[in-house]
Amino acid sequence: MNEQTVKKPWKLFGKLNIIDVLVIVAILAAGVLLSTRMLKKTGVTASAQHIRVQYYGFEDIKNYVPENLHAGDPITQYQTGVNMGNLVDFSYAPAYEQVYDPQRGEMVDVPIMGESFVWLTVECYGQLGSNGMTIEDTTFVIGGNYYLNVGPTRAGYQITSFELID
């Protein structure tokens, strides 16, 4: 029998076989999956809400941190790299701890040298819901402690409030 006329069962048609089709389908599926993940990673969707977030520095923040903050600085969450928006405003004050003074019989403020209390106001885009604020598939909650890169600095901050803008 002529070799060209013998039909091979794994051939779908012509020179394309079943394995070739499966490889093409797998490549197309991977491309679709990758493109949807990349679109999600931008964090801004058509339904994104403009949100104002207040943060308070929860750890010992050295004085050089607020000295290096500037309005407009981009903010990312250190552990996940999630884009948390931009710094709109900030304030700081000398840090202190309260200690009991037995001579006065009351609590007194004792300055902590080289450290500051820091408050941040940030604007970002995400979804505000009953469970908190969601950006790039990550949910952030009031009272949650997060390490943030703010411009050239990194420190620990706690979310104190969310406010919907617009």
48 token code pair: 């994104």
In this structure, are residues 50 and 35 in contact, taking their beta carbons and an 8 Å threshold? no
Mean pLDDT of the chain: 85
Q: How far, in Å, CA of 98 to CA of 82, rounded?
A: 35
Reported as a pLDDT band with limits 50, 70 and 90, residue 19 is: confident
User: DSSP H helical segments within the chain, as ranges?
Assistant: 18-41, 64-67
Question: Mean pLDDT over residues 122-130, rounded?
Answer: 93
Question: Mean pLDDT over residues 133-139, rounded?
Answer: 92
Is 82 exposed, middle or buried, given 0-12, 13-18 or 19+ CB atoms closer than 10 A?
A: buried
Nearby residues of 124 by Cβ (< 8 Å), 6 or more positions away: 50, 51, 53, 75, 83, 84, 85, 86, 133, 135
Say yes or no to pLDDT of 36 above 80: no
**Model's pTM, two decimal places?**
0.68
Say yes or no to pLDDT of 43 above 50: no
Q: How far, in Å, CA of 146 to CA of 139, rounded?
A: 12
Q: What is the pLDDT of residue 15?
A: 66
Say yes or no to pLDDT of 60 above 60: yes
Reported as a pLDDT band with limits 50, 70 and 90, residue 67 is: very high
pLDDT in tens, 90-114: 999 999 999 999 999 999 999 999 9
CB neighbours of residue 2 within 10 Å: 5
Q: What is the pLDDT of residue 11?
A: 57
What is the identity of the amino acid at 38? M
